Amino acid sequence: MFNLVRTTARATAARFFSNSPTMQAPTVAVVLSGSGVYDGSEIHEASAALVSLTRAGAEVVCYAPHAPQLHVIDHTKGAPMEGESRNVLVESARIARGNVKPLAELSSATADAVFFPGGFGAAKNLSDFAVKGADMSVASEVERVIKDFHGAKKPIGLCCIAPVIAAKVLGSSGVTLTLGKADDGSGKWPYAGSIDAAKSFGANAVEKGVNEVAVDEANRVVTTPAYMYEGKFHEIHDGVAKAINSLLSLIKS
C-alpha cells in the first residue's frame, strides 16, 4: 500500500513538472517566523502553502531565524505576556513538525524557490514593520535570502503582510506585488496602510482580492493578500493555493 501511495505521488510530480523528461521535482524553501498570527507565522497561511506544495509534488524544507521573537502574545487576549521569551526557530518547529533549519543555512543554491507566509511575525521577527512602519528595516538574514534568490532569478512568493518585506528589499527594482486592497469602508481590509508604505519603497503595489494573485514575471515575485483580508478560512486557503501554483509555474518557465 505504501509503495502504491509513493508511486502515485511521484507520478503527480512528474505530470506537473513535465517540461523535461529529466526534470526533478523542485525544492521549495518555506520561511517561517514563529507560530501564531500575532507574534509569528499565520498558521493557516503556512499550512495552506505546505499542503499546496506537497500536493503538487514539490519537496519542502522549512527555515526560520534562530533569534528571539520581538515579544510573546497571549492569543486569547491579543496582548503581550510579560516575562515571556521565545525563539523564532523553536516556535516555527511547531508548524514544521520539528523539521526546520536555521535561516542562515538557506541560499539559492539549496532551493528552486522560496515562500514567505504572513502573520505578524513577518512584521515583527523578519522585519520591524509592525513597530516602525515605512521607516522599517529587514532582518539581515531575510534581506540576504531575498536578494540571493532575486539575483539568481529564482521565484519568490509571499502572502499577507510579508510582501512589504519584498517591497523594502526590491523596491528599487520596481517590483510589482499586492498587499490587498485599499480601505473601502467595509472593515474587510484593515491593513491597507501597508500599501502606501510599499509604494514609498518604490514598489508597484497593485490591488488584488483575496482570491487573486499578483505575478511579477520580470522580478519573479508572486504575492496574494491572504489575511490582509478579513476572510473565511477557505478563502485564505484558496488564495494561497493559487499563489503556490503560480510560484511553481515560474520555476518551470
Residues acting as catalytic residues: 160
**Counting Cβ atoms within 10 Å, is residue 16 exposed (0-12), middle (13-18) or buried (19+)?**
buried
Q: Exposed e or buried b for every residue in 121-135, given b needs 16+ CB within 10 A?
A: bbbbbbbbbbeeeee
189 and 181 in contact (C-beta within 8 Å)? yes
Return the ∠ at Cα 99 (arms to 95 and 105), rounded to 5°.
Answer: 110
Return the ∠ at Cα 109 (arms to 107 and 70), rounded to 5°.
Answer: 10
Picking from 22, 23, 21, 25, the residue whose alpha carbon sits closest to that of residue 9 is 25
Per-residue DSSP letter, 127: B
CB contact set of 50 (below 8 Å; sequence gap of 6+): 30, 60, 95
